[in-house]
């Protein structure tokens, strides 16, 4: 199966995938950095409040804990505001002693120190520990510090907590803004990548269009005024085209020389054999005629193959069909043969005019010889960049294996009429040399229909 994947599509896809990965990693990194920065600032604020609480906590005459000058943040005074502090005595084993002192924001709900926090500050005295504490749909971040008050026989745990909802909302807003910005950037990058690839590959597309024009005969060489990376390729292709033309021209010259070299001695042998009578002379005449037919066949075949490989040949189909119809009408006027032709306008054969004349002429002549007097020629475009030429007659036609055998070299449709039996064979081989085909089947007129498929030149260039 032919790989039809686009080079531009590959380049855009690779660039898009890489850009997407980089943008996703960038977005994730920015969000993570912002989250870290937000909670570092959050923890610094908790530490400041802990310092303020540690500076004012003391014991009263009865040995109880008091905070005469609590932190002044108004959120500590508004009930269930999400900002809390608590001071409580703890034992060496982590147990809580007494009720302690709370901020007014705790209201009538005890702000119980989490066991994990107590264990952490006991393990590392003097170090602020921060944990997350779920409390009534609030995710509270708590900082704790263990201090020893003067003249107090127990250690005191200071705790400051704050709801993380505002911080998380700020992080979410930042992440959304980053996502929207990166999506817009991704769209812009994809557009720029697509435009860059299209502009970057335009010289290749132009070279492809020039090759099509060379194939169709609209120009003979590539423009070597190409980008530095493509200029050597254009030069080598032009050199290859020139070499191909030289090879074809040499082949034509050799074919012509061989034709002249063989025809003269064969003509001499045939003439001498006709001037004498006898069994040997008849044998020489028959074999000479056979040799002449073989030489003509293979010379035509070699010449046609050489012409078929030529780049840039173009032939209008209409004038060729008209010339064939006029010629055959004059030749078969006495036999009463009627020839009609119907063709689409603008048909162009991608090949040599001489070959198209041989193809249509041989097939139409056979139809005139072996048909019943009515010959129809049709020419039209078909799918796949090809054209089809149908030549039909109202004769007896052929059936079954005879349709296949008729194309074989040397086969004769009618032994009573003169001919070498090479016409259909040459037509078939010449059509295949151009990448086309010749097919014989039954005509709706009752006789034989020859369907000739040939490459069509692109007339849009």
Q: Could you tell me which residues come within 8 angstroms of residue 328 by beta carbon, excluding any fewer than 6 positions away?
A: 337, 339, 361, 364, 365, 368, 375
Mean pLDDT of 20-30: 92
For residue 2, what pLDDT band results from cuts at 50, 70 and 90? very low
Q: Is there a contact between 58 and 72 (Cβ–Cβ < 8 Å)? A: no
User: What is the Cα 411 distance to its own chain's centre?
Assistant: 49
Q: Is there a contact between 348 and 456 (Cβ–Cβ < 8 Å)? A: yes
- CB count within 10 Å of CB 221 equals 14
* pLDDT on residue 103: 86
Is pLDDT larger for residue 290 or for residue 323? 323
Which one of 20-29, 189-198, 390-399, 435-444 scores highest in mean pLDDT? 20-29
- CB count within 10 Å of CB 326 equals 11
Could you give the CA distance from residue 113 to residue 160 in angstroms, rounded to a whole number?
10
* pLDDT on residue 301: 60
* pLDDT on residue 172: 93
- Under DSSP, is residue 245 helix (H, G, I), strand (E, B) or coil? helix
Order of strands, sheet of 374-382, starting from the edge strand that comes earlier in the sequence: 338-343, 374-382, 386-393, 448-455, 437-442
Whether the pLDDT of residue 25 is over 90: the answer is yes
Q: Is there a contact between 152 and 63 (Cβ–Cβ < 8 Å)? A: yes
What whole-number percentage of the chain has pLDDT above 70?
Answer: 78
Mean pLDDT of 59-66: 83
* pLDDT on residue 154: 84
Whether the pLDDT of residue 419 is over 60: the answer is no
* pLDDT on residue 453: 92
Residue length of the chain = 461
- CATH number of the 315-455 domain: 3.30.565.10
Is pLDDT larger for residue 307 or for residue 365? 365
Is pLDDT larger for residue 269 or for residue 77? 77
Whether the pLDDT of residue 377 is over 90: the answer is yes
Residue 312 burial (C-beta neighbours within 10 Å; 0-12, 13-18, 19+): middle
Residue 116 burial (C-beta neighbours within 10 Å; 0-12, 13-18, 19+): middle
Mean pLDDT of 22-48: 92
Whether the pLDDT of residue 308 is over 70: the answer is no
CA angle, residues 426, 430, 436, in degrees to nearest 5: 130
* pLDDT on residue 95: 75
Closest to 311 in 3D by CA, of 238, 236, 224: 238
Mean pLDDT of 376-390: 90
Could you give the CA distance from residue 348 to residue 388 in angstroms, rounded to a whole number?
11
What whole-number percentage of the chain has pLDDT above 90?
Answer: 17
Helix runs in 102-164, H state only: 115-123
For residue 62, what pLDDT band results from cuts at 50, 70 and 90? confident
Mean per-residue pLDDT of the chain = 80
Is pLDDT larger for residue 294 or for residue 62? 62
* pLDDT on residue 110: 57
User: What is the Cα 363 distance to its own chain's centre?
Assistant: 43
pLDDT tens digits along 89-112: 888 776 777 778 888 887 766 555
pLDDT tens digits along 332-354: 888 888 999 999 888 999 888 88
For residue 410, what pLDDT band results from cuts at 50, 70 and 90? very low
Is pLDDT larger for residue 295 or for residue 246? 246
Q: Is there a contact between 315 and 349 (Cβ–Cβ < 8 Å)? A: yes
For residue 124, what pLDDT band results from cuts at 50, 70 and 90? low
Q: Is there a contact between 455 and 386 (Cβ–Cβ < 8 Å)? A: yes
Provide the whole-model pTM. Answer: 0.52
Mean pLDDT of 109-136: 63
* pLDDT on residue 32: 94
Whether the pLDDT of residue 309 is over 80: the answer is no
- CB count within 10 Å of CB 373 equals 14
* pLDDT on residue 321: 92
For residue 416, what pLDDT band results from cuts at 50, 70 and 90? very low
For residue 414, what pLDDT band results from cuts at 50, 70 and 90? very low
Whether the pLDDT of residue 4 is over 70: the answer is no
For residue 79, what pLDDT band results from cuts at 50, 70 and 90? confident
């Amino acid at each position: 199966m032919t790989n039809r994947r686009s080079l531009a599509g590959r380049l855009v896809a690779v660039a898009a995938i890489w850009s997407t990965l980089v943008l996703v990693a960038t977005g994730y990194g920015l969000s993570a950095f912002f989250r870290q920065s937000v909670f570092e600032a959050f923890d610094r604020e908790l530490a400041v409040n802990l310092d303020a609480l540690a500076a004012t906590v003391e014991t009263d005459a009865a040995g109880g804990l008091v905070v005469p000058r609590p932190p002044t943040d108004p959120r500590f005074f508004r009930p269930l505001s999400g900002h809390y502090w608590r001071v409580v005595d703890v034992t060496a084993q982590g147990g809580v002693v007494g009720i302690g002192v709370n901020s007014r924001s705790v209201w009538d709900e005890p702000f119980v120190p989490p066991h994990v926090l107590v264990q952490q500050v006991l393990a590392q005295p003097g170090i602020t520990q921060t944990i997350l504490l779920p409390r009534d749909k609030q995710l509270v971040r708590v900082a704790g510090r263990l201090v020893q008050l003067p003249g107090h026989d127990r250690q005191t745990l200071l705790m400051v907590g704050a709801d993380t909802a505002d911080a998380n909302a700020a992080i979410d807003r930042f992440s959304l803004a980053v996502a929207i910005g990166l999506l817009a950037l991704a769209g812009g990058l994809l557009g720029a990548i697509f435009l860059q690839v299209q502009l970057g590959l335009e010289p290749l597309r132009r070279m492809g269009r020039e090759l099509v024009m060379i194939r169709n005969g609209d120009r003979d060489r590539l423009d070597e005024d190409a980008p530095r990376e493509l200029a050597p390729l254009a030069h080598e292709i032009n050199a290859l085209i020139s070499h191909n033309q030289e090879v074809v021209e040499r082949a034509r010259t050799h074919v012509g020389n061989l034709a002249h070299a063989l025809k003269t001695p064969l003509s001499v042998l045939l003439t001498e054999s006709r001037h004498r009578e006898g069994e040997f002379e008849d044998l020489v005449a028959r074999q000479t005629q056979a040799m002449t037919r073989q030489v003509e066949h293979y010379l035509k075949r070699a010449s046609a193959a050489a012409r078929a490989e030529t780049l840039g040949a173009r032939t209008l189909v209409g004038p060729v069909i008209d010339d064939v119809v006029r010629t055959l009408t004059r030749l078969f006027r006495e036999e009463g043969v009627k020839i009609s032709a119907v063709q689409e306008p603008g048909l162009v054969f991608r090949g040599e005019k001489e070959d198209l004349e041989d193809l249509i002429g041989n097939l139409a002549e056979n139809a005139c010889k072996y048909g019943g007097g009515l010959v129809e020629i049709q020419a039209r475009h078909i799918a796949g960049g090809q054209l089809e030429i149908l030549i039909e007659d109202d004769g007896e036609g052929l059936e079954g294996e005879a349709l296949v055998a008729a194309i074989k070299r040397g086969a004769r449709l009618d032994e009573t009429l003169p001919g070498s039996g090479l016409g259909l064979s040459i037509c078939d081989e010449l059509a295949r040399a151009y990448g086309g085909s010749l097919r014989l089947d039954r005509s709706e007129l009752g006789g034989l229909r020859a369907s000739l498929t040939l490459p069509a030149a692109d007339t849009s260039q």
